[in-house]
Amino acid sequence: MLRAAIVGGGFMGVTHTEALRRLNIPVVGMLGMDAEESDRFAQRMKIPTAYANLEALVSDPQVDVVHLCTPNYLHYSMAKTLLEAGKHVLIEKPLANTSQEGAELVGLARRHRRMGAVNYNLRFYPLNQEARARIQAGQVGEPRILHAEYCQDWLFLPTDWNWRLVPEEGGALRVVGDIGTHVMDMLTWLTGLEIVEVMADLATFIPLRKKPRRAVETFASKLVAAADTEDVEIHTEDFAGILLRFNNGARGVITLSQINAGRKNAFWWEINGSEGSLFWHQEQPNQLWMGYRQKPNEILLKDPALMQPHTRRYAAYPGGHAEGYPDTFVRHFADFYAYLEKGDYNQPPTFPTLEDGRRELVLCEAILQSVHTQSWVKVRY
Ligand SMILES: NC(=O)c1ccc[n+]([C@@H]2O[C@H](COP(=O)([O-])OP(=O)(O)OC[C@H]3O[C@@H](n4cnc5c(N)ncnc54)[C@H](O)[C@@H]3O)[C@@H](O)[C@H]2O)c1
């Protein structure tokens, strides 16, 4: 039985712990920003060990797998230490801040015979698994147009604050790194296509924000605005528009924003091919729309009995019993831990790998280069 530890006690720390518990995977330890956060989180989530620092976690022989749920800038250094110490890692996206760091982690995992996964959990909505299977079976034919939006409003006000706004903590790109990587991962994973060229336009509409003098958890500023703040200039983007070219000649368009009033977690994708279309929306994740020219369109309401035999296991509940965001973590972790238990690393993984995370970082860098040069940029993986 593999045992897990969690690093980071915010939004993701809780979500990962709950998902592991649904799989009966013991969560044996917790590391927060400091000993106080470790203690508080361990007590709240009933985790036996609260670590005072990373060294204490690393030297705990009980821990086999570490879930990194910290701000982005910590992923690389922590994952490096953990892989070198022989732990498996499940790292929140984006994998690191640069593709160079990503490549190092891929190499370290290989050298130390340890596995890593990057949490592109949105792949694990049952109907995204189903969509991928249908695309592989030829239902849309050759993909021609891939478009997607991921828009939110949790950073709509100048008083909204999060570490993601600061490049030193979140990375040089904000909406692209935070939610755009989910979108690019989804489009390429669904179709098996590769993005070969990008052209991007970014904008920062709120150049000055009020930063609370004490740290706030993700989304917390939507509930209570901090009283004690300081003014901070913002240099990361609120909006991104990205054009894509794929290796089969398909074209893509992505819109990303964290300042669209009324849009909460509005990620949708649509793929139009030579035979038909598919559309899915994260806020109605139990429906898959299928578009046709020569017969009426269809909507598949999630029901394992109506899914392809090999995607059924991604639906944990019977038809019509809605599944949502927390379930995606459970299904991802189920695949990752089953792979670790088998121990045959020659098998193709069914979860997003460190290599997938590295390729996303290469894409992010190409996007940044396109912004600087105001031109199309070829992606060199
Ligand atoms: N896959 C998804 O759907 C999804 C959703 C949200 C966030 N994320 C990713 O998860 C990660 C965490 O995001 P979040 O929204 O949970 O952030 P958060 O701010 O809610 O939580 C981060 C936690 O990390 C802790 N922390 C900070 N420095 C630390 C250190 N040195 N050691 C240990 N803990 C430390 C903070 O105290 C806080 O508890 C990010 O990489 C983010 O991109 C992924």
78: exposed, middle or buried (Cβ count in 10 Å: 0-12, 13-18, 19+): buried
The Cβ-side half-sphere exposure at 299, using a 13 Å CA radius, reads: 8
252 alpha carbon to ligand 1 midpoint, in Å?
A: 30
pLDDT tens for the chain, 381 residues long, are 999 999 999 999 999 999 999 999 999 999 999 999 999 999 999 999 999 999 999 999 999 999 999 999 999 999 999 999 999 999 999 999 999 999 999 999 999 999 999 999 999 999 999 999 999 999 999 999 999 999 999 999 999 999 999 999 999 999 999 999 999 999 999 999 999 999 999 999 999 999 998 777 767 766 767 778 999 999 999 999 999 999 999 999 999 999 999 999 999 999 999 999 999 999 999 999 999 999 999 999 999 999 999 999 999 999 999 999 999 999 999 999 999 999 999 999 999 999 999 999 999 999 999 999 999 999 999
177 alpha carbon to ligand 1 midpoint, in Å?
A: 14
Residue 215: predicted pLDDT: 73
Query: What pTM does this model have?
Result: 0.97
Check residue 179 and report its DSSP letter.
Answer: I
17 alpha carbon to ligand 1 midpoint, in Å?
A: 13
For residue 72, give the ligand 1 atom closest to its CA.
Answer: 41
Rounded distance between C-alpha atoms, residue 195 and residue 287, angstroms = 27
Write the single-letter amino acid at 243: L
Residue 226: predicted pLDDT: 72
31 alpha carbon to ligand 1 midpoint, in Å?
A: 12
Rounded distance between C-alpha atoms, residue 169 and residue 166, angstroms = 6
243 alpha carbon to ligand 1 midpoint, in Å?
A: 29
Strand partners, 242: 200, 254
Token couple for 302: 């999630």
Q: What are the structural domains of the chain?
A: 4-121 (3.40.50.720), 124-317+357-373 (3.30.360.10)
* Measured distance between the N- and C-terminal CA atoms of the chain, rounded to whole angstroms: 36
Residue 227: predicted pLDDT: 73
Write the single-letter amino acid at 343: G
CA dihedral 333, 335, 336, 341 (to 10 degrees): 120
For residue 75, give the ligand 1 atom closest to its CA.
Answer: 41
Residue 224: predicted pLDDT: 67
Check residue 215 and report its DSSP letter.
Answer: -
Question: Nearest CA to 365 among 200, 221, 219?
Answer: 200
**DSSP H helical ranges for 113-194:** 126-136, 167-170, 175, 181-191
| Pair 123, 352: CB distance under 8 Å | yes
Question: Nearest CA to 96 among 113, 82, 123, 78?
Answer: 78
Integer CA distances (angstroms), 37 to 10, 45, 250, in order? 10, 12, 48
Q: Ligand 1 pocket test: pick from 11, 123, 125 the residue with the most ligand atoms within 8 Å of its Cβ.
A: 11
Residue 349: predicted pLDDT: 98
Integer CA distances (angstroms), 281 to 266, 270, 322, in order? 7, 9, 14
What would you measure as the largest C-alpha separation in the chain, in angstroms?
Answer: 63
The binding-site residues of ligand 1, defined as CB within 6 angstroms of any ligand atom, are: 7-13, 31-33, 37, 69-72, 74, 92-93, 119, 121, 163, 178, 217-218
184 alpha carbon to ligand 1 midpoint, in Å?
A: 21
